[in-house]
Chain A
Amino acid sequence: MIEHLSAEQISQWIVGDRPWELQEHVAGCAECRAELTRMENALSQFRTAMREPASFVPAPSWRQPEPRPATWFSWRRMALTATALLVLAAVPVTWRVRVHEQALREQADQSARSALADSQLLETVDAEISQAVPQPMEPLVTLATWNSSSTEQNQKSQER
């Protein structure tokens, strides 16, 4: 058995949540009944006061709003037009940027290829220059070397 309704239980009752045990207690407790009645009366008085005509402003006479005349200007239309123009302007710019970038890439590739060819050519030239005589004349050099050494031997023997 509940002794008396707590503040929460009174609020619960007022909100309309009334479990059986609360109903049983209220039925047998004059003090809690008085407390609930006091609260309910206050709310009822408040409701009455709020519904008193003294606080009201009478309803205005309703005049059907006239439909707006159709105009060519509207913010939505302006926004759509601006967006469409931006898109139209952006397409050729983007296309041109892409073409330019592609041309630059091709140019760079071409430069890299020609640089490689140049360096290979230079290596070949360097290799050729570093040789004392051209390759087709190398047997003659051997022959000349052999010839000059035999001449020197002849001269030495004659001197003796």
Chain B
Amino acid sequence: MGQSSLVEWMATAVTSSHELDDFESVVRLHWLKIFRFALASLRDRHAAETLAQDCFFRAYKARDRFRGDSSVSTWLMQIAVNLVRDHIRDRRLQFWKRARKTAVDVTAAASWIADNGASPETAALRKEQVQAVWDATGSLSERQRTVFLLRFVEDMEILEIAAATGLKEGTVKIHLFRAVQAVRDRIGKTK
């Protein structure tokens, strides 16, 4: 590590650890990102809200252990990814519980998109495409979906995704490639 990069790393670490001092600001700043990821992963607004709250609560409890190796955002996402994974496992185990029953309707992701003055045909096509991607992500494996959402919704770089998921860079690429193929297959059907 060169001197300048060491200084940069130390500066990031100090900034990041100071960032956690004002935890209310951390919640305000990162809430939407964490909630969005939880919602897209779980498709249950209530569960996503609970998970996001749990994520910040855990981060608050573990804030002394944050060493600034990554940004606060990546660190929070790492906690969220683990919580989503645990939640999905629990849901698989509690098969007698009908998760769908309590899920608030988030099956129509296309309804979130604004028309912004587009022609009815264009708006319809857009909604159709969004819905196709949403449906495709629903049929992905948990890892593929996580990697896909972090890349194409949260705009995270491959290395950041690797840090947040604890996967190797190559593994992230493979999951992403398969996810994109599945999504493309689904979009192809909407042609």
**Residues of chain A having any CB pair with chain B under 8 Å:** 7-8, 10-12, 14-17, 38-39, 41-43, 45-52, 54-62, 64-65
Residue from the list A12, A14, A43, A49 in contact with B112, Cβ < 8 A: A49
Chain A residue with minimal CB distance to B155? A47
Residue from the list B23, B153, B173 in contact with A17, Cβ < 8 A: B173
CA distance A60 to B31 in the complex (A): 9
In the complex, chain B residues whose CB is within 8 Å of the CB of A41: 129
Q: Can you add 12 more A-B contacts, CB < 8 Å, to A15-B173, A45-B129?
A: A15-B177, A42-B132, A42-B187, A45-B113, A46-B130, A49-B112, A55-B39, A56-B32, A57-B48, A58-B31, A62-B27, A64-B60
Q: Is the interface of A mostly helix, strand, loop or mixed?
A: helix
B66 within 8 A of A: no
B interface, size bucket? 35 or more
Question: How many CB-defined contacts (below 8 Å) exist between A and B?
Answer: 97
Interface residues of B in 175-191 (CB under 8 A from A): 176-177, 180-181, 183-184, 187
Contact A46:B129 (CB < 8 A) given known A17-B173, A55-B39, A57-B45: yes
Residue from the list A11, A43, A50 in contact with B177, Cβ < 8 A: A11
Give 12 CB contacts A-B under 8 Å: A11-B184, A15-B176, A38-B187, A42-B133, A43-B152, A51-B153, A54-B112, A55-B109, A57-B48, A62-B27, A62-B28, A64-B23
Nearest CB in chain A: distance from B134 CB, A: 7
Contact A46:B152 (CB < 8 A) given known A55-B112, A57-B48, A65-B57: yes
Interface pair B27/A48, CB less than 8 Å apart = no
In the complex, chain B residues whose CB is within 8 Å of the CB of A58: 31
Interface residues of B in 49-74 (CB under 8 A from A): 49, 52-53, 56-57, 60-61
Contact A51:B36 (CB < 8 A) given known A46-B129, A59-B27: yes
Q: Ordered nearest first, which 7 A-B pairs have the shortest CB separation?
A: A59-B31, A46-B133, A49-B113, A52-B112, A42-B129, A62-B27, A11-B180
B121 within 8 A of A: no
Mark B4-29 against chain A: 1 for CB-CB distance below 8 A, else 0: 00000000000000000001100110
In the complex, chain B residues whose CB is within 8 Å of the CB of A56: 32, 35-36
In the complex, chain A residues whose CB is within 8 Å of the CB of B113: 45, 48-49, 52
CA distance A56 to B27 in the complex (A): 14
By CB atoms of chain B within 10 A, which of A17, A43, A48, A61 has the most? A43
In the complex, chain A residues whose CB is within 8 Å of the CB of B31: 58-60
In the complex, chain A residues whose CB is within 8 Å of the CB of B129: 41-42, 45-46
Mark B120-141 against chain A: 1 for CB-CB distance below 8 A, else 0: 0000001001101110000000
Contact A50:B40 (CB < 8 A) given known A11-B181, A39-B184, A45-B129: yes
CA distance A8 to B173 in the complex (A): 13
Chain B residue with minimal CB distance to A44? B152
Contact A7:B23 (CB < 8 A) given known A41-B129, A45-B129: no
